[in-house]
Amino acid sequence: MSRKGPLIFLVLAVLLAGAAAWGAHYWVKAQSAGRSGQKLQLAPVVVAARVLPAGQQLSAQDVSVQAWPANALPPGRFAQPKQVLGRVLKGPMVMGEVVLAAKLAPQGAAGGLSAVVPPGFRAMTVKVDEVIGVGGFVQPGDKVDVLVTLAGGAFRNDPVSRTVLEDINVLTVGEKIQRDDKGRGRTNKVKVVTLQLKPEQAERLALASNEGRVVLALRNQSDREPNQGNGVSLSGLVPRAAPKAPAVAAGPEQPQGTVVEVLKGVKLSRQIL
């Protein structure tokens, strides 16, 4: 009996292990079959059909519908395009971006830039040079500094450049038609940037645009540090060489020795001894 005891325990252990393995396999197979039989629930969501600028009044061509998982729907979404037709965007949107209630101006708001300007702010547009500044790179939502260069009036002999506005939000970027300055009847496309400003900032920008040349400097989105500089002048940027002291004119050569004056009649002569 003592010899059969270990053998019986070994056989029982093998049988129990086999039963456990078969049960685990059956459970995994049943779970997989159950999951494969479940259908993913989808729901319609309204998205932007193309790139849309801030202030755009939505039309049927601006939006489309995509199917999203019902358990991952963003709050504030819309299910039907008719729910957003005529509404105005408060900010730009990219193609495929979900149209949310938080991105739309209140019902009845007119289209255009005025719909996206926050209360207490103003929108001002400035012309941007494609070479100087960031005319080809700035986008809506970027932050910029505004610099002005003054080279006339009191600064004619020593032009200066200084930052007049900092950390300014860009509302829109686009082009406008401007008549040729030479009066030839032609029109040119000019890059313009619309900035979001407080009233006192708008006054500074208006004066800077009138008195000098305005340039935009693009900021890092996370950079909120104020500018510690006081501007730069041409004389400080490129110090001029100090003028040379004028040469002193040489006087008449002084005679060497003792000078004796001799008077003969009315004639006076000098002799050197």
Chain-centre distance for alpha carbon 216: 9
Helix locations, the chain, DSSP H = 4-37, 199-211, 234-237
Q: How far apart are CA 7 and CA 19, in angstroms?
A: 19
Locate the domains of the chain by residue range. Answer: 42-115, 122-224
Q: What is the mean pLDDT of the chain?
A: 79
pLDDT at 265 (0 to 100): 62
- Indicate whether 131 pLDDT > 50: no
pLDDT in tens, 112-121: 778 788 889 9
How many CB atoms neighbour CB 78 within 10 A? 20
pLDDT at 203 (0 to 100): 96
pLDDT in tens, 23-54: 666 666 666 655 555 678 999 999 999 998 88
pLDDT at 32 (0 to 100): 61
163 vs 3, more confident? 163
49 vs 138, more confident? 49
* Predicted confidence band of residue 148 (pLDDT cuts 50, 70, 90): very high
Q: What CATH number belongs to 42-115?
A: 3.90.1210.10
DSSP E strand boundaries for the chain: 42-48, 63-69, 122-127, 143-150, 160-179, 187-197, 213-218, 232-233, 259-264, 267-272
Average pLDDT over residues 204-232: 88
pLDDT at 144 (0 to 100): 92
* Predicted confidence band of residue 92 (pLDDT cuts 50, 70, 90): confident
The whole model's pTM is what? 0.58
Phi/psi at 170 (5° precision)? -90, 125
